[in-house]
Amino acid sequence: MATVTANGVQQENGFSTTNSAGRMNGLTLGQNTIPMKDHDAIKLFIGQIPRNLEEKDLKPLFEEFGKIYELTVLKDRFTGMHKGCAFLTYCARESALKAQSALHEQKTLPGMNRPIQVKPADSEGRGEDRKLFVGMLGKQQSEEDVQRLFESFGQIEECTILRGPDGASKGCAFVKFSSHAEAQAAINTLHGGQTMPGASSSLVVKFADTDKERTLRRMHQMAGQLGIFSPMTIQFGAYGAYTHTQMMQQQATLMAAAQGSYLNPMAAIAAAQMQQMAAFNVNGLVATPMTPSSGTSTPPGISATAVPSIATPIGVNGFSAIPPQTNGQPASEPIYTNGIHPYPAQSPTVADPLQQAYAGVQHYAAAYPAAYAPISQVFPQQPAIIPQQQREGPEGCNLFIYHLPQEFGDTELMQMFLPFGNVISAKVFVDRATNQSKCFGFVSFDNPSSAQAAIQAMNGFQIGMKRLKVQLKRPKDANRPY
DNA sequence: TTGGATT
């Protein structure tokens, strides 16, 4: 309990709040003490906190080292969800140093599998300009390995490998030097210079995102989340903006609910944020009716009235979705509406393996009429500025595809698998240096039966001289030794 | 030949 001494200096637990320098940490007005902090106080970042601990629960743990000026649990800006970390400022600088040495990596809070982090917040050292993001590390490389790699460039203040919830490395890290120049020197020498064992491309060394960039990234990620509504059910048209906004609100609500915060006011804030994004997010995927000859039939989930009239049953990016039946002639050149052909101008001959592939896929599409819908871009003059998020579906919904034609990109991959269900993500792996496809990729559906149907139909599917290999993606922890 | 990653 706090007591007030005769001279008005507040005491807690028998400790004087006057620090070693003789400065008072509290301004006492009657019974109320307004906390004051030293001018050289340090703001600490506290990491690895269980999400069920709030300020009141954390306070006792930290008060042991001195009077707390401010303790704030970090919450997600949009959902209000506890982020598992906090900022802590003691009134006295010394308390911060004591807490750091006593607690940092020294104990693990209940339910956490990594030790608590107690260190000066990034805002303290204006650390952003000397902090590096390191990508393309081998998954088995440790903090020590990374430290060895960087130590010759200067004094390393911090080295952290990013890990998933299970402790597995994400193949990237943060390395903070004591100066910008040291960090720059490391970039100059190490970036792109070598490929780590097990990494798919050469080492990436760059300055870490600033706060602003991080915020932008978050927004993009959130925009990408929209994709959990499959392209099949997303539509823009005369009422496009309304539909889109509605969808975003719904999305925000779902996100809040999914994260366990139920329906709280933050969802409304998130919805407002998303509306703002709606203003520039026009990665408009639109499903359109299947064939001209069956104009009354509409694929599941598509409301005929909402289909914009300017959309036509022509795939913009790859092959036509119309089975080549219009006049009884064999498949002719696909129709491109964006003026860009997916591969260099070539007269389409039957001998062209890729053309065969396209024709084959078209043929395949024809065999799955109910599921098949082409993709069109409704606002062709507006570039799709939100890139397709790479996202995994639930277990059993993610496919690994090998032996893709070199020319296949994300779009072609997606179109090839659309007949089997809602593709929530399609990603062809590309070599960073050459921008060339590595001829394998991933497709994620929103349900396992679509994935199974795709395996059944497409595994062994011949394209040119190669046969596709289509199988379930290995789960992340599959090849971990013990 | 198994997701290009930002506490």
Distance A434 CA to B7 C1' (A): 31
Q: Which of A58-67, A158-167, A336-345 has the highest mean pLDDT?
A: A58-67
Q: Is residue A99 helix, strand or coil? A: helix
Distance A183 CA to B3 C1' (A): 29
**Per-residue pLDDT, A32:** 59
Phi, psi dihedrals of residue A210, rounded to the nearest 5°: -80, 170
Distance A92 CA to B6 C1' (A): 31
> Where do the H-state alpha helices sit in A44-174?
55-63, 93-103, 143-150
**Per-residue pLDDT, A478:** 52
Specify the pairing of strand A15-16 against strand A10-12: antiparallel
Residue corresponding to tokens 């090849």: A479
Q: Sign of torsion, CA A94 A100 A106 A108?
A: positive
Q: Is the CB of A170 under 7 A from strand B?
A: yes
Residue corresponding to tokens 């940490």: A25
Q: Is the CB of A429 under 7 A from strand B?
A: yes
d(CA A2, CA A21): 22
**Per-residue pLDDT, A210:** 83
Query: For strand B, which nucleotides have at least one atom less than 7 Å from a protein CB?
Result: 1-7
For A220-278, write each residue's pLDDT tens digit.
777 766 544 433 333 332 233 333 333 333 333 333 333 333 323 333 333 334 333 33
**Per-residue pLDDT, A167:** 84
**Per-residue pLDDT, A278:** 35
For A142-200, write each residue's pLDDT tens digit.
999 999 999 999 999 999 999 987 888 999 999 999 889 999 999 999 999 999 988 88
Q: Is the CB of A425 under 7 A from strand B?
A: yes
**Per-residue pLDDT, A431:** 86
Residue A34 is inside which H or E element, if any? strand A32-35
Which residue is closest to B1 in terms of CA–C1' distance?
Answer: A402
A140 neighbors A65 (Cβ within 8 angstroms): no
Report, in angstroms and rounded to the nearest whole number, the Rg of chain A calculated over CA atoms.
Answer: 28
**Per-residue pLDDT, A54:** 96
Distances in Å between the alpha carbon of A135 and those of A108, A261, A439?
28, 33, 22
Q: Sign of torsion, CA A232 A269 A393 A134?
A: positive
As a whole-number percent, the residues of chain A with pLDDT over 90 amount to 41
Of residues A355 and A78, more confidently modeled: A78
Name the residue among A236, A203, A223 with its Cα closest to residue A308.
Answer: A236
For A121-136, write each residue's pLDDT tens digit.
877 755 678 999 999 9
Q: What are the residues whose beta carbons fall under 8 Å from the beta carbon of A168, sequence distance 6 or more?
A: A139, A476, A477, A480
Q: Which of A268-277, A361-370, A461-470 has the highest mean pLDDT?
A: A461-470
Q: What's the whole-model pTM score?
A: 0.51
Helices A265-278 and A240-258: crossing angle, nearest 10°?
A: 140
Of residues A206 and A350, more confidently modeled: A206
Of residues A223 and A97, more confidently modeled: A97
**Per-residue pLDDT, A279:** 33
Q: Is the CB of A392 under 7 A from strand B?
A: yes
Q: What are the residues whose beta carbons fall under 8 Å from the beta carbon of A315, sequence distance 6 or more?
A: A321, A334, A374, A375, A376, A415
Which nucleotide is nearest to A132 if distance is taken from CA to C1'? B6
Which nucleotide is nearest to A117 if distance is taken from CA to C1'? B7
Distance A426 CA to B2 C1' (A): 14
Taking 50 as the threshold, does the pLDDT of residue A49 lie above it? yes
Q: Is the CB of A402 under 7 A from strand B?
A: yes
**Per-residue pLDDT, A312:** 30
